[in-house]
Structure 1
Amino acid sequence: MDTFGLSILKGIISFFLHPLTYITIIGAFMLGLSRVKRDRRDFHTRVHDVLDDVPFAIIPGLLIGAAFLILNLLLGLTVPFSTTVAMSLGAFLLLVTGQIRFLSPAFVFILPTLATFFYTPIDLGNDTLNTMQEGIGNASPFALAILVGFLVFMEGLFITMNAGKQTSPRLVESKRGKLVGAHEVQRLWLLPLFLFLPVGQVELFTWWPLLDFGAGTYAFILLPFPIGFRKLIHHALPLPEMKSNGRQVALLGGATVLIGLVSYFLSNKWIALVAIILVILGRAGILLLHRGKNKPAYFNERNKGLVILGILPGSPADQMNLQVGEVISKVNGLPLGKGVDFYTALQRNAAFCKMEVLDVNGEVRFEQKALYNNTHHELGLLFVKENRFEEQEEAQ
């Protein structure tokens, strides 16, 4: 038991010694900086705090990583250390080149899969580099297929549970050159990935681990595994779009796990390779499916009413029962639309605001709030149309 506990402790320490842990956190901070810069360009104000992306990167990963740790303690998914190096290198290349939309486990695993099936170690003139190549061709394709399936499944959970929170409103040009609204999702999740290494002092039991990949003794490693996601949504509400996207990714990951298990029990490595190829193609297909490139914009100017593109956190509007995507049709009895300024209607009553709101289901309701200390100038609602007026006034 002492050997077992010491091996796990060494695995945990390896997580904090790995440079990818800190590169991912810095990357999340940089995403926050770029987001705030776009907010100020589009709306002349910050929507969410620059540090918000950091807890989004860490907390969900800790929760899902802890669940996978418990699961893999039983399963025993085992890969050589050289395979973890290939995984880290693939993730690092996608991360530092800014290709966040492709930082999916499905694409990260292209490099370790190619190395497992086709790479022959060569002398790189350095003992450390040569050691990192050892065993790369001995990685179990069954373990790779099952592992990438679990990782893609966890990616789907991240997207479903977390990606739709605090999306960032944007202003973009449509194909016709008109100003339309959109919501951008940029996320980096840091997953502590618990894996078995086929070297060490921990001996297997008669029943443990449940999956045997040919190692006589084991060590443990806690590998920092970054998962990225980026999507610009202009054709739909962000939350239901993210849930749909996440469910499809999770389903793809679950199917890959099942195919990988079939390949393991049949001892057929080509089925495992097919599973990995299918998850790569399937993930690329989901990216293409959710582009929404030729669909009409949801956040656009309308003849009647103004669509809420964003709500500033902590603002008076945030305290009201308003939601992104709803349409404000009247303010203080004055119908809104083309040629009618929201704040002009708001100032008809400097002390009180009454709105007629059309929700996303097409039902009408009324919202009202007392205004104090010139809060009518800082209500905290973001519209496509209002921002255009502000830019025109500043230019004059």
Structure 2
Amino acid sequence: MPVDDPHDPAAPTTRKQVFPCGQCGSSLEFKPGSDSMRCPHCGHTQALPGGAGGVISEHDFHEGIARARRQPSAALVEGGHNVQCEGCGAQTVVAGQAARCPFCGSPVVMAIQELGEIFTPESLLPFKLDARAAKDRYQKWVGGLWFAPNDLKTLANQHGMDGVYMPYWSYDSNTTTRYTGERGEYYYVSETYRDSKGETQTRQVRHTRWYPTSGTVHVSFDDVLVCGSQTLPRKLLEGLEPWDLPELRAFDAGYLSGFVAERYKIGLEEGFVAAEARMVPKIRSAVESDIGGDDQRIGNLNIHHADVRFKHLLLPLWISSFRYKEKAYRFTVNARSGQVSGERPWSVVKIVLAVLAVIAVIVTIAVLVQKYKQ
């Protein structure tokens, strides 16, 4: 049975599950890449409380809004309470003390009232990479950055990494799109012109004839992901994709032992609006293919969604933040694939020196060319 951790350093935007070791009583931690929990003190391992099995459920979107399982956010963690980070404003549920925020580095949090009932996550991807492997990936990423400040790697390495489960919505939809547009077909006309020597030349100039068109395309989508967090920028999270969603496991609190999990702030309906936006490029591509011809213009899209289904799941990442010249920077590592996505400061001095070096090379080449002509 999970218990409170009175020394929990978890982010104030998170909740944390703690399980006691059956041999020494210390807190167990999920062992990345396995289906068991391990005690960092005595080395004892235990199976997950619910095993590694279970059914991964998908819900009808419209029925799920009314019928999917919900409960008070504090009930997700025994002894949980709601807090808010005064640095970035993120809200969450924690057990024990919230000491700092890994998302912005703020050390100050304050207690707030119950946030209301939330959807319960029913599946997740367990951590596959441990903290050491994640840090190795990050160090390689930092080493490959151009125009980074000289002390960036040292500064970033002074801060630890936190294992965080981020809340996601996954949507399926069968779309039917009626469209209007124009199909462009190329044709060529011969034109004459005078070249730099004054001689007459002939060339083929391309033109386009446009014809009105309309039609219907059907595109199906499976597992379109939308992060339910507003703590990290969307660009940063999308940089971690793709995720190996076929490896999803049914939710078991044991997977959270030693890690923290953020409470979502983007709800089911709001998330589907974002999912629709992610679907549009693929629909437009299908419409352009259906229009055919050499070029295409899309006038109007009337998109209809049918058999919309969703899952609420947790995806694992390693995250760290540091401050450089009073600004917070964050980097993340996909705890499954090792893909790194991060924010970075730029060295103005290095950029200026590089620009001056390029100018110097251009001037040198121009001088040499001028001397050669003379």
TM range, smaller chain: under 0.3
Q: Is the helix fraction higher in 1 or 2?
A: 1
The answer to which structure has the higher strand fraction is 2
Look at both structures and tell me which one has the larger radius of gyration over its CA atoms.
2
State the TM-score, normalizing by the size of structure 1.
0.21
